[in-house]
Amino acid sequence: MIKKLTGETWKQLTFSGWKLLRNRYAISNHGRLASYKENLLEDGKLLNGSLTTGYRTLNLHRPGSKGTLYVHREMAKLFLPKPTAAQRYVVHRNHNKLDNSLKNLKWATLEQMIQHQQDSPAKRAYKKQQSTKTAGLKLSAAQVKKIKATLENKRRNITIRQLAEKFGVSEMTMYRIKSGENWGKVK
Q: Check whether residue 17 and residue 83 sit in a common domain.
A: yes
Q: Check whether residue 94 and residue 44 sit in a common domain.
A: yes
Q: Check whether residue 108 and residue 160 sit in a common domain.
A: no
Within a domain: 185: no
3-state SS track over the chain: CCCCCCCCCEEECCCCCHHHCCCEEEEECCCCEEEECCCHHHHCEEECCEEECCEEEEEEEECCEEEEEEHHHHHHHHHCCCCCCCCCEEEECCCCCCCCCHHHEEEECHHHHHHHHHCCHHHHHHHHHHHCCCCCCCCCHHHHHHHHHHHHCCCCCCCHHHHHHHHCCCHHHHHHHHHCCCCCCCC
What residues make up the domain containing 85? 1-123
Tell me, rounded to whole angstroms, the distance of Cα 128 from its chain centroid: 19
- pLDDT value, residue 88: 95
- pLDDT value, residue 18: 82
Q: Which residues contact 86 (CB under 8 A, 6 or more apart)?
A: 109
- pLDDT value, residue 124: 87
Q: Check whether residue 28 and residue 92 sit in a common domain.
A: yes
- pLDDT value, residue 21: 84
When pLDDT is averaged across residues 8-37 and rounded to a whole number, the result is: 90
Q: Which residues contact 170 (CB under 8 A, 6 or more apart)?
A: 164
Q: Check whether residue 175 and residue 112 sit in a common domain.
A: no
Within a domain: 187: no
Nearest to 29 by CA among 12, 14, 45, 8: 8
Is 90 exceeded by the pLDDT of residue 78? yes
- pLDDT value, residue 87: 95
Q: What is the pLDDT of residues 23-77, one digit of tens each?
A: 999 999 999 999 999 999 899 999 999 999 999 999 887 766 778 899 999 999 9
Is 80 exceeded by the pLDDT of residue 135? no
Is 80 exceeded by the pLDDT of residue 134? no
- pLDDT value, residue 107: 97
pLDDT band at 82 (very low <50, low <70, confident <90, very high): very high
Q: Check whether residue 17 and residue 74 sit in a common domain.
A: yes
Q: What is the pLDDT of residues 102-119, one digit of tens each?
A: 999 999 999 999 999 999
- pLDDT value, residue 174: 92
Last-in-domain residue among 123, 149, 164: 123
Q: Check whether residue 6 and residue 49 sit in a common domain.
A: yes
Within a domain: 115: yes
Per the structure, the count of domains in the chain is 2
pLDDT band at 1 (very low <50, low <70, confident <90, very high): confident
- pLDDT value, residue 129: 78
Within a domain: 184: no
Q: Check whether residue 88 and residue 172 sit in a common domain.
A: no
* Averaged pLDDT score across all residues of the chain: 90
Within a domain: 186: no
Q: Check whether residue 116 and residue 147 sit in a common domain.
A: no
